Structure 1
């Protein structure tokens, strides 16, 4: 009878095992390392953070609520002649944002002045005819004709004013005839500017975005698996920003990119800023929110490394480090939710991972 070596039998067994079974079968590997060697390799550590069972890690965009972010666009083809604000500036409604130059803007200004002059002349003519009618010099039909011309001139003036008002343009005495100033439609923070001075842009090109950041929301793009675990009302924590949020809703269908969407309202702002990307932890209701400090942990995503087809962590020991296999339950760009038998007193390496992995592979 042919005897199969135990080592070969172990390799085949691991190949057929499930990921969770492999996590239990794979053993940790000791990496003796002195403090001087750690410094030379650039190894830095961070403490373990206990996690709640069922937590879902997601990367979210911090945005203003719908209707609280406004884009200021170029009203005509032209060019930016001067920037008056920058990203991060706080503005009030009506604050000048950018000076814009366009031949069509000069023509619109000319038509506005002509309409104002026509209305002034029509009003003077109507007043004169009213006085002459009161004295019985002219018939009523002539007065009616004068008033009709006055109303037509007024309508034309209002049309020209509305055109420039809709474009958010106002004119200053110290600028050229074809240059106007675009103003902020709402109070808020400038979150984006586009183009440079002298750059030609087409009509409708977005020049500035202003957002009212008094209330913030989180916009999340999810895998269908993560979306199925979440529901409206779930609590969300952002430890890195000392902020909290509450889930408003989740789409159950996926888009062409095979991802679902979710939106949350920020209840505790902390240091969140509109426009940034943050890693958040969603705590689903009824998904087993019991704390398990001995098996489930939140660690920086950069602390994980792949070896032998499995994610590993480098955990501190008295002699240096120990490579520990883990099971990744959820992850985002910055944070990973892992399962491993560890203790809260231990720390994980967050830099110098490549050097530690090289030590792990040296005997292969």
Structure 2
């Protein structure tokens, strides 16, 4: 083959291969003219981007009660519920009666308290009498010390008997001194397992009281998401919810994910048991490589030939700028791109711009 034919063949190969290899790069760098009137007719609207101080990750969370948000009122002794004074959904305050309660052990505890009060009263009388005798020099110091010890023992017994009834959640009220099971804390009654006339065993759960405002978020974060740290922010923007990560632990199901707990400063209208979409703001992941992170509306993100990017406004039209997607949620995408803050990107009419770009190519 002659030298001229070799050169011609090489030129032909270059003309056919170069567009195939460089088409994507040309598309990225290509600017498409678009007047303001044409943009309005196509429904195109541009919005400025902002720098991102942290990596934002969209995930799911379950709304759960705090560990101390629920309290169970149980039967202190084996006995019988004489009457029920509250119902499910009712708000109660601390010390409010929940049910009447009868039990032989309860009566024995009440009798022991009465006896202890009587002994303490007698001990105080002896203490006052012996003090006067000791001051007059009639009795010895040893007898005065013995009387003091007996009075202290009697007072300690009274405190013990009162503590027993208090820990049982029992109060005596009314002219007849009816024994009543009272709420140890305020909240909303979520369960009533007591039935008037029913006999119950000791420690049988009768009432469950919850604090509806004591909520947390429970997140299961997969291995494809950067590991959050204590202090990272958690938000549910659509519900007015904001919180902070308070704990990270390995998942108990043997997977590579982690369980994340977040406390809430603003709980919005969340209710226990529901699942919500949340945004994790990972400060540590952003600080490791924060250069070039931008927040753009999710609607601005577009894929051209599988390459993610945004349409950037120019003086004469627009151009496609490829980006590296760091994280996304329902509303915001955090991307890494060589764009200054304030750069305007298309947020509506993106499909029309993509069609124009394809036509120019």
Give the TM-score range, shorter chain: 0.5 to 0.7
Which residue of structure 1 aligns with residue 157 of structure 2? 156
Structure 2: distance between partners of 1:227 and 1:103: 60
**How far 1:234 moved relative to its partner?**
4.1
Structure 1: distance between partners of 2:117 and 2:151: 11
**How far 1:111 moved relative to its partner?**
0.4
Q: Secondary structure, in 3 states, of the residue corresponding to 2:144?
A: helix
Out of 258, 278, 284, the residue aligned to residue 282 of structure 1 is 278
Q: For residues 290 and 284 of structure 1, do their structure 2 counterparts lie closer, same or farther at Cα, with a shift above 3 Å needed?
A: farther
Structure 1: distance between partners of 2:240 and 2:234: 11
Structure 2: distance between partners of 1:141 and 1:284: 72
Q: For residues 155 and 54 of structure 1, do their structure 2 counterparts lie closer, same or farther at Cα, with a shift above 3 Å needed?
A: closer
Which residue of structure 1 aligns with residue 337 of structure 2? none
Q: For residues 293 and 76 of structure 1, do their structure 2 counterparts lie closer, same or farther at Cα, with a shift above 3 Å needed?
A: same
Whether 2:83 is the aligned partner of 1:82: answer yes
Q: For residues 152 and 55 of structure 1, do their structure 2 counterparts lie closer, same or farther at Cα, with a shift above 3 Å needed?
A: closer
Structure 2: distance between partners of 1:279 and 1:290: 26
Out of 52, 56, 59, the residue aligned to residue 56 of structure 1 is 59
Q: Secondary structure, in 3 states, of the residue corresponding to 2:203?
A: coil
Q: Secondary structure, in 3 states, of the residue corresponding to 2:179?
A: strand
Q: Describe how 1:186-225 pairs up with structure 2 within 5 A.
A: 186-214=185-213, 216-220=214-218, 222=220, 224-225=222-223
Q: For residues 229 and 189 of structure 1, do their structure 2 counterparts lie closer, same or farther at Cα, with a shift above 3 Å needed?
A: same
Indicate if the aligned counterparts of 1:231 and 1:247 stay in contact, CA closer than 8 A: no
User: Which structure is larger by alpha-carbon Rg, 1 or 2?
Assistant: 2
Structure 2: distance between partners of 1:211 and 1:262: 23
Indicate if the aligned counterparts of 1:98 and 1:183 stay in contact, CA closer than 8 A: yes
Q: Secondary structure, in 3 states, of the residue corresponding to 1:220?
A: strand
RMSD of aligned alpha carbons: 3.8
Which residue of structure 2 aligns with residue 124 of structure 1? 125
Alignment gaps of 5+ in structure 1: 1-52, 297-329, 336-342, 345-364
Give the TM-score, by structure 2 length: 0.54
Which residue of structure 1 aligns with residue 333 of structure 2? none
Structure 2: distance between partners of 1:110 and 1:170: 14
Structure 1: distance between partners of 2:234 and 2:219: 17
Q: Deviations over 1:222-270 (max 9, x none)?
A: 364587676652433274xx34132414535121475743222334333
Indicate if the aligned counterparts of 2:79 and 2:199 stay in contact, CA closer than 8 A: yes
Q: For residues 291 and 201 of structure 1, do their structure 2 counterparts lie closer, same or farther at Cα, with a shift above 3 Å needed?
A: farther
Give the TM-score, by structure 1 length: 0.54
Out of 242, 252, 264, the residue aligned to residue 266 of structure 1 is 264
Q: Secondary structure, in 3 states, of the residue corresponding to 2:173?
A: coil
Q: For residues 221 and 165 of structure 1, do their structure 2 counterparts lie closer, same or farther at Cα, with a shift above 3 Å needed?
A: same
Which residue of structure 1 aligns with residue 72 of structure 2? 71
**How far 1:62 moved relative to its partner?**
3.6
Which residue of structure 1 aligns with residue 290 of structure 2? none
Q: Deviations over 1:146-194 (max 9, x none)?
A: 3322222111111111211222221124456xx5223333333334433
Q: Secondary structure, in 3 states, of the residue corresponding to 2:270?
A: coil
Indicate if the aligned counterparts of 1:245 and 1:264 stay in contact, CA closer than 8 A: no
Structure 1: distance between partners of 2:201 and 2:295: 53
Q: Describe how 1:337-348 pairs up with structure 2 within 5 A.
A: none
Q: Describe how 1:19-30 pairs up with structure 2 within 5 A.
A: none
Q: For residues 291 and 115 of structure 1, do their structure 2 counterparts lie closer, same or farther at Cα, with a shift above 3 Å needed?
A: same
Aligned residues: 241
Out of 234, 243, 247, the residue aligned to residue 246 of structure 1 is 243
Indicate if the aligned counterparts of 1:238 and 1:281 stay in contact, CA closer than 8 A: no
Q: For residues 79 and 256 of structure 1, do their structure 2 counterparts lie closer, same or farther at Cα, with a shift above 3 Å needed?
A: farther
Structure 1: distance between partners of 2:187 and 2:268: 18
